[in-house]
Each structure stands twice: as structure tokens, then as C-alpha cells.
Structure 1
């Protein structure tokens, strides 16, 4: 699903219908495949703070995290690999 927020090459992943355990396997794997400067967006039904803490601990400054939408029903986050 592409949105107005995404560039033509930026993947948008709506994980609201994916079980939480699968989300935590899929999202890091997709991020690991990003090239420097590339980004992806995730759409979730809650604030994904635990995921943010995971990325900060594993990737540090290599992962740039930007909230594009912050609830109350939908959160949209852009993850970008540092250039």
C-alpha cells in the first residue's frame, strides 16, 4: 500500500492485522535489507515504543525514527537507515 507520505520507492507496511510475534520478526528483517538513506514506514494500532527501544539498542544511530502520525487509533512511523 503506497500513501501520500511515501516516496515511490519507500515500502509501507501496515502490520495491524499481523500477529505481534510475526511483526517483531518481519520489521527488523525488512530494515536490515535497507540501503543507507533508504526508508520504510510501518502502520500500527498502538505506539510502537518497544520496537523503537529495540532498534535503538541494536542499530543505534544507524536507525532514524520519525513519527508521522501519533494515534489515537493509528500510528505511522518512518524508519530510515542513516546515510
Structure 2
């Protein structure tokens, strides 16, 4: 199963998805995340290039945390920041 849910967190295992469909599916899932929501990505390689692409598409909006780092399986938790804090330069924490 490519997409599933564990608790309330969607899970996508890209190992079962054709290569050409992987990034579009991941981007759609990330785009659909609510504030504070997360998803778990499972891959057979380090998804570092995806991380860079997501940073370009969603600057300052996402978190990225490795849960498992190979050598055979990589798992990453991708989250949408909840917006409760302020990352601006003023330091006021609006």
C-alpha cells in the first residue's frame, strides 16, 4: 500500500510507487497538510533531493526530521509548521 495512515499521520511509502509518480504524489500530500500536521515518508534511498525541492516550494513552512537513515530504508517525518511562533527578525514572537 503506497498511502496509509498511522494514527492521524498519513504515510507514503514511495518504494511501491512508480518513479515518475513519486514527487507529484508527495507534493500533493504535503500541500494538503494542515497547520501542525505531519506525514511519514518511507524510501529506499536518502530523499535529500526531495528535501531541497520542498524547501524551494514551501520556504520556511515545513519541518524535516529523519526517523531512520538507511542503509536500506529511510523514513522522514515532514511537517507543516503550525504558525504559532514567529521566525522573523524582530524576535517578538507575535
Structure 1 stretches of 4+ moved >6 Å: none
Count of residues in Structure 1 that have an aligned counterpart in Structure 2? 79
Please report how far the alpha carbon of residue 55 of structure 1 lies from its aligned counterpart in structure 2 after TM superposition.
0.6
CA RMSD in angstroms comes to 1.1
Matching of residues 3-82 of structure 1 within 5 Å: 6=6, 8-82=7-81
State the Cα distance separating 1:57 from its structure 2 match. 0.7
The Cα of 1:38 is off from its aligned counterpart by: 0.3
C-alpha separation in 1, matches of 2:8 and 2:65: 18
Higher RCO (C-alpha 8 Å, min separation 6): 1
Deviates more, 1:32-41 or 1:8-17: 8-17
- Looking at structure 1, the residues matched to 75 and 66 of structure 2 have their Cα atoms a distance apart, in angstroms, of 6
TM-score (norm 2): 0.79
For structure 1, list consecutive stretches of 5 or more residues without a partner in the other structure. Answer: none
Structure 2 residues without counterparts, runs of 5 or longer: 83-94
Normalising by structure 1, what TM-score?
Answer: 0.89
